[in-house]
Every structure is written in structure tokens, then in C-alpha cells.
């Protein structure tokens, strides 16, 4: 369930071993967050990886059911011996006073949509996703402020130091403003009250708030499966971001391990 990198790899590995595989994807396209990750123009390598998976899936015997949200009823009707849950994660919303006063957008959705309305954009969260989306919006001529509570040195702890340095330099060259060691204390409509590193406060006016504060695993289906009779009749596995939000490599590796065994 889920045609992100984890689900696609699990499906391909199981298919190669001669199993009959159905891959359910709620969206109309495969790829999950890998598809969104490939959108900024400097992510050609991710685009190539995504193209590879798209073609591999098309050339395989995997039956792909796009636009199909797999819930417990659908899976109960399928007589499956093995169910691989690869449903990814969801944006972990931060606790900020007044966040409900704005129509905040989740960063990955912006890549999917192509843009946001308004010219002054504040991105809360300066990890890989926040910085890439910041760069992407800056290319459209928007004024972009990326805010993170940790120091520049502590940003993107899982990222390779070279990749991190290249991305931060891209942001700087593009003119994205990066405020680290800064807390968003309160949001009131388009007004962001910031607690700066030097202990002072500052208020910024923005047209759009974007949330990029990381991911949390989607647990619902996994928990429902374990509370259903499928727990007795099928083997149930979980791979990728729905297990622990991470990177392509982890999702693909976990998918391959399950599919090959
Ligand atoms: C903007 C962005 C950039 C990134 N860049 C990188 C990068 O450069 N390098 C890197 O290693 N990682 C990157 N990542 C992280 C990487 O994308 C994820 O770790 C990876 O996609 C996780 O794969 P997954 O298969 O577990 O989940 P996902 O890719 O999230 O796929 C899950 C799929 O399950 C589907 N689904 C969910 N519930 C159901 C259901 N009930 N029925 C049917 N379908 C369902 C979803 O629609 C989705 O397609 C990036 C992430 C984002 C958001």
C-alpha cells in the first residue's frame, strides 16, 4: 500500500520473485514524495531515480491501482497473504500560538502545486525540505524567509556535509533569507512574532506561511491492520517513512528486504 519508493521497491522485488503483486496508490501518479523531491531543477539525479522506478513498475507484472485509497475493507476483500504498508509520513505541524489564524501550507504540497499565492513567504523549518522549497519559490521571484530554531551548524543533521554546504550556498546566492536560532513565538494573521538569537523580538509581515518542520509516520493503517483479523491471516510489514521518516535509501532498502524475503 503506497507507491512511494518504499512501496515501489517492495512491489518490484516481490514481483521479480514471482509473487502476484497489487500496488495501491491513493494519488493518480506513482512516486510519493520522491516525485515531489525531484521537482526543483537541481534535483536531476532524483528525477532520474524516479524515472527509473516509473519505468520499472510499468514494465513489471505489478498491477498498479492508481487513485485507490487502500483501507481496511479493501484489504480484507483481497485475500492477501502479505501486506506491505508503505504509506509514508505526514507533515508534523509545530505548536505555534496563532498558527490557526493563517492558511499555512505544507512544503511538499507547494512543489506539487507549483507555487503559492503572495509575494512574501515565510518557511518555518530550515531542513532539507524547507530550504529546497525556499530556493524553488525564490526562483519564481518571491521574497523568501526561512526560519529555524537551531543554529546553522545544527541544520540538516542527516545530510551529507557537502550536500548541505551546496544547498546553503544556493540559498545564499539566490537571495533567500535564512534566520537560524530563531523561534516563531506567535502568528497573528500575516504577522509573525520572532524571538531572535540575540534575545530580541521582531515582527515580520508575510503573505504566506509554509510549514516544513519535518514528518511524522502515518500509523493509522498499520494500527487498524493489527486490530483486524488480517493480523491472523496475513503477514504484515511496514517500510519507509511510515515506519520512521527518513530518506529514499532507507525506504528502498526496507522495501527490497521485505520484497525479497
Ligand atoms: C520535498 C522533499 C524532498 C526530499 N528530498 C529527498 C532527497 O533529496 N533525498 C532523500 O533521500 N530523501 C528525500 N526526501 C525524503 C523522501 O522523499 C522520503 O524519505 C521517501 O519518499 C519515503 O518513501 P516512502 O515510500 O516511505 O513514502 P512516500 O514517498 O511518502 O510514499 C507514500 C505513498 O503512499 C501513498 N498512500 C498513503 N496512504 C495510502 C493509502 N491508504 N492507500 C493508497 N496509497 C496511500 C501516498 O499517496 C504516497 O504516494 C524528500 C522529501 C520531500 C518531501
- Residue 55 to residue 52: CA distance in whole angstroms: 5
| Amino acid 198: pLDDT | 87
Of all helices (H) and strands (E), which one includes residue 85?
strand 82-85
- Residue 35 to residue 100: CA distance in whole angstroms: 29
- CB of 240 within 8 A of CB of 254? yes
Place of cell 538569537: 197
**Ligand 1 atom with minimal separation from the 239 CA:** 26
**Ligand 1 atom with minimal separation from the 215 CA:** 53
Backbone angles phi, psi at 49, to 5 degrees: -65, -40
Residue among 11, 34, 133, 244 whose CB has most ligand 1 atoms within 8 A, to mutate: 34
Backbone angles phi, psi at 207, to 5 degrees: -90, -30
Question: What are the structural domains of the chain?
Answer: 5-90+215-260 (3.40.50.720), 93-211 (3.50.50.60)
**ipTM for the complex shown:** 0.99
- Residue 61 to residue 15: CA distance in whole angstroms: 7
- Residue 7 to residue 86: CA distance in whole angstroms: 5
Rounded to 5, what percent of the chain is helix, strand, coil? 40, 20, 40
DSSP classification of residue 8: H
| Amino acid 189: pLDDT | 86
CA of 24 to the centre of ligand 1 (A): 14
Instruction: Please report, to the nearest 10 degrees, the dihedral formed by the alpha carbons of residues 97, 100, 103, 106 taken in order.
Output: 70
**Ligand 1 atom with minimal separation from the 43 CA:** 8
CA of 66 to the centre of ligand 1 (A): 15
Q: pLDDT by residue for the chain (261 residues), tens digit each?
A: 999 999 999 999 999 999 999 999 999 999 999 999 999 999 999 999 999 999 999 999 999 999 999 999 999 999 999 999 999 999 999 999 999 999 999 999 999 999 999 999 999 999 999 999 999 999 999 999 999 999 999 999 989 999 999 999 999 999 999 999 999 999 998 999 999 988 899 999 999 999 999 999 999 999 999 999 999 999 999 999 999 999 999 999 999 999 998
- The three cell numbers locating residue 177: 533569507
If DSSP states are collapsed to H, E and C, what string results for 151-201? CHHHCCCCCCHHHHHHHHHHHHHHCCEEECCCEEEEEECCEEEEECCCCCE
Pocket of ligand 1 (CB under 6 A): 1-7, 24-27, 32-34, 36-37, 46, 69-70, 86-88, 108, 111, 128-129, 132, 221, 240-242, 246-249, 251
Amino acid at each position: 500500500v503506497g507507491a512511494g519508493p518504499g512501496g515501489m521497491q517492495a512491489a518490484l522485488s516481490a514481483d521479480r520473485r514471482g509473487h502476484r503483486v497489487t500496488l495501491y496508490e491513493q494519488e493518480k501518479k506513482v512516486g510519493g514524495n520522491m516525485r515531489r523531491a525531484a521537482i526543483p531543477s537541481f534535483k536531476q539525479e532524483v528525477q532520474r531515480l524516479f524515472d527509473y522506478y516509473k519505468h520499472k513498475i510499468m514494465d513489471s507484472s505489478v498491477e498498479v491501482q492508481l487513485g485507490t485509497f487502500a483501507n481496511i475493507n479493501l484489504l480484507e476483500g483481497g485475500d492477501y497473504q502479505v501486506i506491505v504498508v508503505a504509506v509514508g509520513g505526514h507533515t508534523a505541524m509545530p505548536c505555534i500560538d496563532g498558527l490557526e489564524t493563517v492558511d499555512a501550507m505544507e512544503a511538499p504540497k507547494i512543489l506539487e502545486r507549483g507555487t503559492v499565492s503572495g509575494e512574501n513567504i515565510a518557511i518555518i523549518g530550515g531542513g532539507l525540505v524547507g530550504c529546497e522549497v525556499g530556493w524553488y519559490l525564490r526562483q519564481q521571484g518571491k521574497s523568501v524567509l526561512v526560519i529555524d530554531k537551531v543554529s546553522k551548524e545544527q541544520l540538516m543533521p542527516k545530510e551529507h556535509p557537502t550536500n548541505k554546504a551546496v544547498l546553503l550556498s544556493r540559498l545564499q546566492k539566490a537571495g533567500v533569507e535564512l534566520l537560524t536560532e530563531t523561534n516563531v513565538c506567535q502568528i497573528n494573521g500575516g504577522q509573525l512574532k520572532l524571538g531572535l538569537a540575540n534575545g530580541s523580538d521582531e515582527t515580520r509581515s508575510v503573505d504566506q506561511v509554509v510549514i516544513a518542520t519535518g514528518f511524522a509516520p502515518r500509523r493509522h493503517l498499520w494500527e487498524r491492520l493489527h486490530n483486524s483479523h488480517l493480523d491472523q491471516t496475513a503477514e504484515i510489514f511496514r517500510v519507509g517513512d511510515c515506519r520512521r521518516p527518513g530518506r529514499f535509501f532507507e525506504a528502498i532498502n526496507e522495501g527490497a528486504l521485505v520484497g525479497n524475503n
